[in-house]
Structure 1
Amino acid sequence: MAVYLIADVTVTDEAWIAEYATNVHDIAHKHGGKYLSRSANISTVEGEPCKADMIALVEFPDMAALHAFINDPEYKAFRESRIKGSISNLHVIDDSDAAKTIPYLPKG
């Protein structure tokens, strides 16, 4: 079952961004990750405005692949620099339908 990593990031120190942006895609890809978006073009159409500077949406084939990415030793230094230079919230959702009414999604 596919899972989606949603990262909302508020930058507090830009020093980490260039190296992270250049290298992390390949590490995620090694684990089956596919970036669907990594955007700073954020607008709110309902509710409280988003405070993040950037949101990334990355698809992984399953939860094991996502955890392999997060725990990859090659990712460790990039992860630490992101944590040090930002307020990051990482969320994971699967591709299921909690209401069980969309026929093409697995029932959640």
Structure 2
Amino acid sequence: MSYYSVLEVTPTNEDWIANYVASANRLVTTHGGKYLANTPVHERLEGKGDDVAIRVIIQWPSKEAAITFMNDPEYAPLLKGRTEGSISNHVLIEGKED
């Protein structure tokens, strides 16, 4: 069953971004993930909330793949850089099997 990481990221500084993007993209692929969206182009159609700079959706082949990615020691310094250099929210959503 697929799982989806949905992230909202608003950088508070940009020092971490260049290193993060290349390295995180490689690690996502290594763990079987696939970016479905990674964009500053989005529009709120309903509800209220804080505007965010970037929205990201990553498809994972399983919950375990997503968790293994998050716990990868190589990802730890990248995660630290992103969380210290941005306001970020990340949720993991179970996909629906038809």
- TM-score range, shorter-chain basis? over 0.9
Shift of the alpha carbon at 1:50? Answer: 4.7
Q: Does 1:23 align with 2:23?
A: yes
Q: Does 1:84 align with 2:71?
A: no
Structure 2: gaps of 5 or more residues:
none
Question: What is the match of residue 100 of structure 1?
Answer: none
Shift of the alpha carbon at 1:87? Answer: 0.9
Structure 1 segments, 4+ long, off by >6 Å, are none
SS in 1 for 2:22: helix
SS in 2 for 1:64: helix
Q: Does 1:51 align with 2:36?
A: no
Question: What is the match of residue 68 of structure 1?
Answer: 68
SS in 2 for 1:52: coil
Question: What is the match of residue 34 of structure 2?
Answer: 34
Residue identity opposite 1:93 in structure 2 = I
Which structure would you say has the larger RCO, counting Cα contacts within 8 Å and 6 or more residues apart? 2
Q: Which structure: larger Rg?
A: 1
- The alignment covers a number of residue pairs equal to 98
RMSD of aligned alpha carbons? 1.2
Structure 1: gaps of 5 or more residues:
97-104
* TM-score of the pair, normalised by structure 2: 0.94
